A and B are shown apart, each in its own frame.
Chain A
């Protein structure tokens, strides 16, 4: 049986489950009719859209969903979803940071205005799945001119039956003109091998001059398949910084699209993928330079042990009219075993003369010269390797400085180095 056939049979189950779940939801009356309609629209799109075909779809050539089974109760997941860190002055200034469900009850009109503004219902196969079935998610809204001093922290601790779970998330972050925020999302699930699917859709809209840092620590259990789609619309002179730390899951795919549609918009990424055993970690960053003087700087640091595999794709599209735009990307990989494999594939599509674009990649084992230097000071080889790796990830960790998850992340990286 072909891979996509297996996956399709899995999704067949999901659709039946999903329809039942939406019927139940409608009966409870917990959500307004427009919201249910959006979900149904998304579910219809999910059903209609084909599974990604590794033979035809370049974006899925290196990440196969062959083994993806959506299990007997795919729509179910338990756990704790909490968002903390909204200070009182910001709340009084009108800022909102809560679970999507709470926002729907408390501020239905605000949610209605923004839900779907960066990702239309059914914008993609897995976007549609997350939108249709979302059990949870964060809703963050920061009005014009309001700056959140402290980071907002979303703790998404997913639990679920040992037999398997499906967790679906829909998160919306909207910043008004000159607003500022840092959102940190930590996704965890039990460290045993129970199978699970975590599927998320994230929408980001930044007004003129807004600054958002969006940081995610993906630390899901080793039986989990994680599919995440994010799309951001960046306003005039606004700045967006993505930091993705991919640590967990059996197969993790993050597909991030940033649209620089207004002059002066900027996006930077500086994440890490740290895989071991047979983990497959795939990060796809797509940037659309539409407007003039937009800049993108994509960087990713990868370390792989055992037979782990990483894919990092930076797709930069510079459209006609984005004069003065510039783009850089760099991927650095450290291969800690001869069986590990890292593919860093930059793609540039340039349809404008007056732009600058560059890319680079490095890949190789730990620098023996550096190890020898550290060992010559009495430091045993395992500790020397640990120091080198910590140092390698230090620029990513620096992006999390002064957040409550810094120590956790450092600790998890150390654990993985020693694992």
Chain B
């Protein structure tokens, strides 16, 4: 990297910046102006009722073709994410742990991991090295040995799929990760294991967006900020105590006029 490059990237800022994002699905506006900045090492929780647009935000960031961005911008360390294909976003350091990961028949987990790791790291990893890394991460996540040979997510239980998402996070070491309801469908022990995986297997300076309904997972992935999303907008932002508050009172109080978030 030349000195000029470093200047430019620091000028763009080392952060994931979502500015006034508008997203439509099938022509219907879902996100109506979302702004959020995630700095390296920061953890942001997004909570909100079903249908408020949390998954839409996650998909739009990952580049799902069915989610049309109609306004706003997303910058990753200054680079325009919205111009990138989904695979380019991943190689730039973005990662989405899916709420409902797809099943891929006939493609073994290990074969998939090899291709993903090679693509993201930009250089081929040796089979031996990969196996070692995978085994270590699987042990940490409490996954059985046979996971590598099984077809990617095919016939996996909900909980197995979620663990598999975090296994991928552990290997791809993204700079910014979005966890879309990674905790739902997991029992309390599993939540703890998976959360520990996120905290310990990712990069120490990973910026994280945790989408969740429950404050439970936030005990193990303590957020620096909590945001409340209602009807396609962030209607309130606060510190970690906001999560507890929501757990008590629910989202009823937020169904009113959207509050302008700090920019």
Flag if B87 contacts A378 (CB, 8 Å): yes
Contacts of A93 in B (CB 8 A): none
**Which parts of A356-410 form the interface with B (CB within 8 Å)?**
367-370, 372-381, 383-384, 387-388, 390-395
Complex Cα–Cα for A381 and B107 (A): 15
CA distance A200 to B101 in the complex (A): 47
B104 CB contact (under 8 Å) in A368, A374, A380, A395: A374
Is B62 a contact of A376 with CB atoms below 8 Å?
Answer: yes
Say which residue of A378, A387, A394 sits within 8 Å of B90 (CB atoms): A378
Q: Are B106 and A395 in contact (CB under 8 A)?
A: yes
Is the pair B119, A380 in contact by a Cβ cutoff of 8 Å?
yes
Cβ of B64 and Cβ of A387 under 8 Å apart? Answer: no
* Most B CB within 10 A of own CB, among A367, A381, A387, A390: A387
- Contact B101 A373, beta carbon cutoff 8 Å: yes
Residues of B within 8 A of A378 (CB): 87, 90-91, 116, 119-120, 172
Contacts of B172 in A (CB 8 A): 377-378
What's the interface size class on B, roughly? 20 to 34
The answer to whether B132 has its CB under 8 Å from any CB of chain A is no
Q: Is the CB of A388 within 8 A of B104?
A: yes
Nearest Cβ on chain A to B79's Cβ, whole angstroms: 15
Given contacts A378-B87, A378-B91, A381-B85, contact A369 B116 (CB under 8 A): no
Point out the residues of chain B lying under 8 angstroms from A376, CB to CB: 62-63, 86-87, 89-90, 95-96, 98
Residue pair B115, A383 in contact (C-beta under 8 Å): yes
Report the separation of the CA atoms of residues A368 and B172 in the bound assembly, to the nearest whole angstrom.
Answer: 22
Q: List the B side residues contacting A388 at CB < 8 Å.
A: 104, 107
Interchain residue pairs with CB less than 8 A apart (30): A370-B102, A372-B86, A373-B98, A373-B104, A374-B112, A376-B63, A376-B90, A376-B95, A376-B96, A377-B87, A377-B90, A377-B116, A377-B168, A378-B87, A378-B91, A378-B120, A379-B119, A380-B119, A381-B85, A383-B115, A387-B104, A387-B107, A387-B111, A387-B115, A390-B106, A391-B104, A392-B106, A393-B106, A394-B105, A394-B106
Partner of B64, one of A372, A384, A390, A392: A372
Chain A hits for B112, CB < 8 A: 374, 377, 387
Q: Are A377 and B63 in contact (CB under 8 A)?
A: no
- Chain A residues closer than 8 Å to B105, beta-carbon distance: 391-392, 394
A380 contacts B107, CB within 8 Å? no
State whether the Cβ of B151 lies closer than 8 Å to any Cβ in chain A.
yes
Q: Which residues of B contact A381 (CB under 8 A)?
A: 85, 87
For A308-326 the 0/1 string (1 means CB < 8 A from B) is 0000000000000000000
Q: Closest B residue to A370 by CB, please name it.
A: B102
